[in-house]
Amino acid sequence: MRRRACTAPRGPCYRLLALGAEEDAMDRGNPVIGAIGRRLRLGVAGGGIGSFIGAMHRMAARMDDRYELVAGVLSSDPAKSLAQGREIGLPEGRAYPSVEKMLSAESARSDRMDVVAIMTPNDSHFPYASAALRAGFHVICDKPMTNSLPEAEELDRLVASTGLVFCLTHNYTGYPMVRQARAMVEAGLLGTIRLVQVEYVQGGKAREEDPPPGPGMPWRFDPAKGGPSLVLGDIGSHAHNLLRLVTGLEVEEVCAEVGAVVPGRRVHDFAGALLRLGGGARGSFWVTQAAAGMENCLRIRASGTKGTLEWQQESPQSLSWKPIDAAAQTFTSNGPGVLPFAKRASRIVKGHPEGFPEAFANIYSDAAEAIASRIAGSAADPLALHFPNSADGLEGLRFIEAALESSGRGGAWVRVGRREAV
């Protein structure tokens, strides 16, 4: 599993996920202030008032008190951006009419922002992230990282050349029990992984009249803005990333069908695939936004030679572990047997629920520690360095391209990262 050591190392560093003294995750203090003497100064692009994801980003940044929101572009409409900036309480003169103006003005300030969070339509992720990196700002970016593989490759190279932190908000990797699963795999408790099943099933686009005909179509239904596949970019990228994080394996070949199950729909609302993974493991992948009545069922099952792990996002508090020669067990956040990588992500005492906002905040907090350590020239806590980054974004685009090519060839097996069928 390829990682870039400057932001989120993998490989040997994963030993730290399962070893070491357990700490009280609620009493770590504020490592960002400890490193640089202040909170990180955050600027935002997108996510204006009324935006679900914008509110999640701002909540995640505030939850552990590691960021101070100092600048923003809240809308592509300049007047609206300025008005909404004032409404959410940005400092005077630091609500901007455009991302370009924000980057230029902030670059000239002595108290300039440290990091830019990007939550705009998908087609703008690449130009905005590239411009921010070239201006010397760290980046937190919504998925998918870009709309095309060439853009993803170029952005990944730019991250490497600048040495700046790039965090991709695959927020489901922030759940404590997802991290418990990863740590158990790293500790060898599953043995050799042989089978993986991952699915992400939603019902929000099950109606034939979604979107309604006429002008004002949502940007996600426009391939120029939303990307070549609505379902793969919107939720398939999450399922693929979750598989990679939990198992530590890469998808090497894919046999896919991608399309629409709602009659007359011009964008993809379904994708299914068989997977060949590293180490000889086999997998299945199923994502849809057109399963009537479903809400947000992201689920993974990983089976190895010693047992099976199961987790689903609609019941995120528990992780099921079924060893081959012992009774089944259930792990819960901050409960007995939780390993350090999971305990770090648990804010409250066992038996209390945690969920989507907390998982999002874990990604923000880990990125904050990495950024503050970079600013201070010090070493970050290794457990903070496992947030998704540009390498993950690149692998996501490689998978999407391979799945689309396979589907276009009638389900032929296609190597991920290459163009020829096998």
Q: What is the 3-state secondary structure (H, E, C) of 94-139?
A: CECCCHHHHHHHHHCCCCCCCEEEEECCHHHHHHHHHHHHHCCCEE
What's the distance, CA 224 to chain centroid? 22
Written as tens digits, the pLDDT of the chain (422 aa) is 444 433 443 333 445 566 554 455 555 689 999 999 999 999 999 999 999 999 999 999 999 999 999 999 999 999 999 999 999 999 999 999 999 999 999 999 999 999 999 999 999 999 999 999 999 999 999 999 999 999 999 999 999 999 999 999 999 999 999 999 999 999 999 999 999 999 999 999 999 887 766 667 788 888 889 999 999 999 999 999 999 999 999 999 999 999 999 998 989 999 999 999 999 999 999 999 999 999 999 999 999 999 999 999 999 999 999 999 999 999 999 899 999 999 999 887 787 777 889 999 999 999 999 999 999 999 999 999 999 999 999 999 999 999 999 999 999 999 998 544 44
Cα distances from 307 to residues 232, 300, 301, in angstroms, run: 30, 14, 11
User: What's the pLDDT score for residue 347?
Assistant: 83
Tell if the pTM clears 0.85, that is, is over it. yes
Give first-to-last CA distance, the chain, whole Å.
22
For residue 325, the one-letter residue type is D
Beta bridge partners of 311: 300
Transcribe 328-364 into DSSP letters: -EEEETT-TT--HHHHTT--S-TTS---HHHHHHHHH
Which residue is it, tokens 């979604």? 210
What are the structural domain ranges in the chain?
A: 11-172+377-388, 175-350+395-408
Cβ neighbours, 10 Å, residue 419: 10
**Separation between Cα atoms, residue 131 and residue 103, nearest integer Å:** 8
Beta bridge partners of 270: 259, 288
Q: In this structure, is the dihedral angle defined by the CA atoms of residues 223, 256, 272 and 242, taken in order, positive or negative?
A: negative
> Which CATH code for domain 175-350+395-408?
3.30.360.10
Which residue is it, tokens 């994801």? 53
Strands (E), 5-84: 40-46, 67-73
User: What's the pLDDT score for residue 11?
Assistant: 37
Angle at 147 between CA 404 and CA 393, to 5 degrees: 90
Cα distances from 405 to residues 159, 247, 310, 381, in angstroms, run: 27, 25, 30, 40
**Separation between Cα atoms, residue 119 and residue 237, nearest integer Å:** 16
For residue 242, the one-letter residue type is L
Transcribe 259-318 into DSSP letters: E--STT--S--EEEEEEEEGGG-EEEEEEES--TT---EEEEEEEESSEEEEEETTSTTE
Return the biggest CA–CA distance within the chain: 64
Cβ atoms of residues 203 and 295 within 8 Å: yes
- Segment holding 257, helix H or strand E: strand 251-259
- Mapped onto helix, strand or coil, the DSSP state of residue 1 is coil
The yes/no answer on whether domain 11-172+377-388 falls in CATH 3.40.50.20 is no
Starting at the earlier edge strand, list the strands of the sheet with 193-201: 329-332, 318-323, 307-312, 297-304, 193-201, 282-288, 270-277, 251-259, 414-415
User: What's the pLDDT score for residue 351?
Assistant: 78
Residue 345 CB partners (closer than 8 Å, separation 6+): 25, 174, 175, 176, 179, 333, 358, 359, 362
Give the pairing type, strands 297-304 and 307-312. Answer: antiparallel
